[in-house]
Amino acid sequence: MGQVGHPVIAITIDASQPVAALRLLLDNLGDLTEPLTKVLDLGLSDARAEIGAQGGLFGSGWSPMSPWTPIVAQALYGKERTPGTLLEDTGRLLGSLEREGAGNVFHVGKTEGEAGTDAVSRRSGFPLGVGMQFGTSRTFHVLQGEGFSETGIPPRQFLSWHESRSKDYVGIFAEHIMKGIEGGGSNV
Protein backbone atom coordinates (compact mmCIF):
# COMPACT_ATOMS: atom_id res chain seq x y z
CA MET A 1 0.00 0.00 0.00
CA GLY A 2 2.88 2.36 0.75
CA GLN A 3 5.43 3.39 -1.84
CA VAL A 4 8.37 1.05 -2.39
CA GLY A 5 11.49 2.13 -0.58
CA HIS A 6 9.76 4.38 1.88
CA PRO A 7 8.99 3.11 5.34
CA VAL A 8 5.25 3.23 6.03
CA ILE A 9 3.56 3.35 9.34
CA ALA A 10 -0.19 2.94 9.17
CA ILE A 11 -3.23 1.39 10.67
CA THR A 12 -5.06 -1.04 8.49
CA ILE A 13 -8.58 -2.25 8.44
CA ASP A 14 -10.10 -5.36 6.99
CA ALA A 15 -13.88 -5.01 6.77
CA SER A 16 -14.49 -8.49 5.41
CA GLN A 17 -15.34 -9.96 8.83
CA PRO A 18 -17.91 -7.28 9.78
CA VAL A 19 -19.41 -7.53 6.28
CA ALA A 20 -19.70 -11.32 6.65
CA ALA A 21 -21.31 -10.86 10.08
CA LEU A 22 -23.78 -8.35 8.64
CA ARG A 23 -24.68 -10.80 5.85
CA LEU A 24 -25.41 -13.45 8.48
CA LEU A 25 -27.41 -10.92 10.46
CA LEU A 26 -29.51 -10.06 7.42
CA ASP A 27 -30.04 -13.77 6.70
CA ASN A 28 -31.31 -14.27 10.25
CA LEU A 29 -33.69 -11.35 10.02
CA GLY A 30 -35.57 -13.10 7.22
CA ASP A 31 -37.45 -15.43 9.58
CA LEU A 32 -38.15 -14.14 13.08
CA THR A 33 -40.80 -16.75 13.94
CA GLU A 34 -38.84 -18.12 16.92
CA PRO A 35 -38.14 -14.84 18.74
CA LEU A 36 -41.57 -13.43 17.90
CA THR A 37 -43.15 -16.53 19.47
CA LYS A 38 -41.03 -16.15 22.62
CA VAL A 39 -41.84 -12.44 22.97
CA LEU A 40 -45.57 -13.02 22.46
CA ASP A 41 -45.53 -15.90 24.97
CA LEU A 42 -43.86 -13.53 27.45
CA GLY A 43 -46.59 -10.95 26.77
CA LEU A 44 -49.33 -13.49 27.50
CA SER A 45 -47.57 -14.61 30.66
CA ASP A 46 -47.30 -10.99 31.81
CA ALA A 47 -51.02 -10.45 31.09
CA ARG A 48 -51.97 -13.43 33.28
CA ALA A 49 -49.68 -12.18 36.04
CA GLU A 50 -51.11 -8.65 35.75
CA ILE A 51 -54.64 -9.97 36.24
CA GLY A 52 -53.52 -12.03 39.24
CA ALA A 53 -51.80 -9.00 40.76
CA GLN A 54 -54.88 -6.87 40.01
CA GLY A 55 -52.82 -4.31 38.13
CA GLY A 56 -50.07 -4.10 40.70
CA LEU A 57 -47.36 -5.95 38.80
CA PHE A 58 -46.59 -3.44 36.04
CA GLY A 59 -49.08 -0.69 36.87
CA SER A 60 -50.10 1.07 40.02
CA GLY A 61 -53.17 -1.05 40.63
CA TRP A 62 -56.62 -0.85 39.15
CA SER A 63 -59.42 1.56 39.87
CA PRO A 64 -61.73 0.11 42.48
CA MET A 65 -65.06 -1.43 41.58
CA SER A 66 -68.20 0.53 42.15
CA PRO A 67 -69.48 -0.17 45.67
CA TRP A 68 -72.73 -1.25 44.02
CA THR A 69 -71.17 -3.97 41.86
CA PRO A 70 -71.25 -6.66 44.60
CA ILE A 71 -74.87 -5.81 45.44
CA VAL A 72 -76.02 -5.91 41.81
CA ALA A 73 -74.05 -9.12 41.12
CA GLN A 74 -75.61 -10.78 44.15
CA ALA A 75 -79.10 -9.69 43.11
CA LEU A 76 -78.75 -10.61 39.42
CA TYR A 77 -76.51 -13.66 39.52
CA GLY A 78 -76.51 -14.80 43.13
CA LYS A 79 -72.73 -14.34 43.29
CA GLU A 80 -70.47 -12.61 45.75
CA ARG A 81 -68.20 -10.14 43.98
CA THR A 82 -64.83 -8.71 44.84
CA PRO A 83 -62.32 -7.37 42.30
CA GLY A 84 -60.57 -10.75 42.31
CA THR A 85 -63.70 -12.81 41.77
CA LEU A 86 -64.96 -10.39 39.15
CA LEU A 87 -61.84 -10.90 37.05
CA GLU A 88 -61.32 -14.61 37.72
CA ASP A 89 -64.89 -15.85 38.21
CA THR A 90 -65.03 -18.43 35.42
CA GLY A 91 -61.34 -18.57 34.55
CA ARG A 92 -62.38 -17.90 30.95
CA LEU A 93 -60.26 -14.76 30.52
CA LEU A 94 -57.16 -16.27 32.14
CA GLY A 95 -57.60 -19.50 30.15
CA SER A 96 -57.78 -17.52 26.92
CA LEU A 97 -54.35 -16.03 27.71
CA GLU A 98 -52.79 -19.51 27.54
CA ARG A 99 -51.58 -20.39 24.07
CA GLU A 100 -54.12 -22.74 22.47
CA GLY A 101 -56.58 -22.10 25.32
CA ALA A 102 -60.25 -21.49 24.55
CA GLY A 103 -60.55 -17.97 23.15
CA ASN A 104 -56.79 -17.53 22.71
CA VAL A 105 -55.50 -15.56 19.73
CA PHE A 106 -51.95 -16.48 18.71
CA HIS A 107 -50.62 -15.99 15.19
CA VAL A 108 -46.94 -15.75 14.27
CA GLY A 109 -45.40 -15.26 10.86
CA LYS A 110 -41.85 -14.67 9.71
CA THR A 111 -41.83 -10.97 10.57
CA GLU A 112 -44.96 -10.25 12.60
CA GLY A 113 -47.35 -11.75 15.08
CA GLU A 114 -50.17 -11.13 17.52
CA ALA A 115 -51.31 -12.70 20.77
CA GLY A 116 -54.33 -11.97 22.91
CA THR A 117 -57.87 -13.02 23.61
CA ASP A 118 -61.23 -13.04 21.93
CA ALA A 119 -62.97 -14.74 24.86
CA VAL A 120 -66.58 -13.79 25.39
CA SER A 121 -69.03 -14.26 28.22
CA ARG A 122 -71.11 -17.37 27.69
CA ARG A 123 -74.08 -15.64 29.25
CA SER A 124 -74.11 -12.39 27.28
CA GLY A 125 -71.53 -12.63 24.51
CA PHE A 126 -69.71 -9.65 26.05
CA PRO A 127 -66.02 -9.56 24.95
CA LEU A 128 -64.21 -10.11 28.25
CA GLY A 129 -60.74 -8.91 27.29
CA VAL A 130 -61.98 -5.82 25.48
CA GLY A 131 -64.24 -4.93 28.40
CA MET A 132 -61.41 -5.25 30.86
CA GLN A 133 -58.73 -3.55 28.77
CA PHE A 134 -60.81 -0.54 27.76
CA GLY A 135 -63.62 -0.55 30.31
CA THR A 136 -67.22 0.10 29.42
CA SER A 137 -69.21 3.26 29.02
CA ARG A 138 -72.45 1.43 29.84
CA THR A 139 -74.19 2.36 32.98
CA PHE A 140 -76.42 0.24 35.10
CA HIS A 141 -79.34 1.57 37.04
CA VAL A 142 -79.39 1.04 40.77
CA LEU A 143 -82.88 0.69 42.18
CA GLN A 144 -86.01 1.44 40.21
CA GLY A 145 -87.97 4.66 40.04
CA GLU A 146 -85.88 7.43 41.53
CA GLY A 147 -82.72 5.36 41.72
CA PHE A 148 -79.44 6.42 40.17
CA SER A 149 -76.96 5.17 37.62
CA GLU A 150 -73.45 3.92 38.12
CA THR A 151 -70.84 4.29 35.40
CA GLY A 152 -69.47 1.23 33.70
CA ILE A 153 -66.37 -0.80 34.41
CA PRO A 154 -63.17 1.29 34.55
CA PRO A 155 -60.40 0.33 32.11
CA ARG A 156 -57.97 -2.16 33.61
CA GLN A 157 -55.09 -2.55 31.21
CA PHE A 158 -53.68 -6.06 31.42
CA LEU A 159 -52.38 -6.77 27.92
CA SER A 160 -49.64 -4.41 26.77
CA TRP A 161 -45.92 -3.99 26.27
CA HIS A 162 -44.13 -2.92 29.44
CA GLU A 163 -41.19 -0.52 29.46
CA SER A 164 -39.61 -2.51 32.28
CA ARG A 165 -39.53 -5.56 29.98
CA SER A 166 -37.70 -3.81 27.11
CA LYS A 167 -34.39 -5.52 27.85
CA ASP A 168 -36.12 -8.91 27.91
CA TYR A 169 -37.77 -8.30 24.54
CA VAL A 170 -34.54 -7.08 22.93
CA GLY A 171 -32.57 -9.91 24.55
CA ILE A 172 -34.78 -12.53 22.92
CA PHE A 173 -34.13 -11.05 19.47
CA ALA A 174 -30.40 -10.56 20.16
CA GLU A 175 -30.04 -14.19 21.29
CA HIS A 176 -31.74 -15.36 18.10
CA ILE A 177 -29.47 -13.28 15.89
CA MET A 178 -26.29 -14.22 17.76
CA LYS A 179 -27.16 -17.91 17.62
CA GLY A 180 -27.27 -17.63 13.83
CA ILE A 181 -24.00 -15.70 13.63
CA GLU A 182 -22.15 -18.04 15.97
CA GLY A 183 -23.53 -21.06 14.11
CA GLY A 184 -22.12 -19.60 10.90
CA GLY A 185 -25.36 -19.74 9.00
CA SER A 186 -29.00 -19.00 8.79
CA ASN A 187 -31.15 -19.49 11.87
CA VAL A 188 -34.15 -20.68 9.87
Assess if residue 10 is contained within a domain. Answer: no
116, containing H or E segment? strand 113-117
pLDDT of 3 higher than 70? no
CA–CA distance from 7 to each of 11, 12, 14, 55, 104 (Å)?
Answer: 13, 15, 21, 70, 71
pLDDT, tens digit, for every residue of 83-110?
A: 555 556 678 889 999 999 999 999 999 8
Assess if residue 2 is contained within a domain. Answer: no
Assess if residue 123 is contained within a domain. Answer: yes
pTM score: 0.73
CA–CA distance from 174 to each of 53, 62, 67, 87, 185 (Å)?
Answer: 30, 34, 48, 36, 15
Assess if residue 8 is contained within a domain. Answer: no
pLDDT, tens digit, for every residue of 130-151?
A: 888 888 776 655 555 555 566 6
Assess if residue 87 is contained within a domain. Answer: yes
pLDDT of 2 higher than 60? no
Helices 166-182 and 33-52: crossing angle in degrees, nearest 10, is: 160
**What is the number of domains present in the chain?**
1
The predicted pLDDT at position 188 comes to: 43
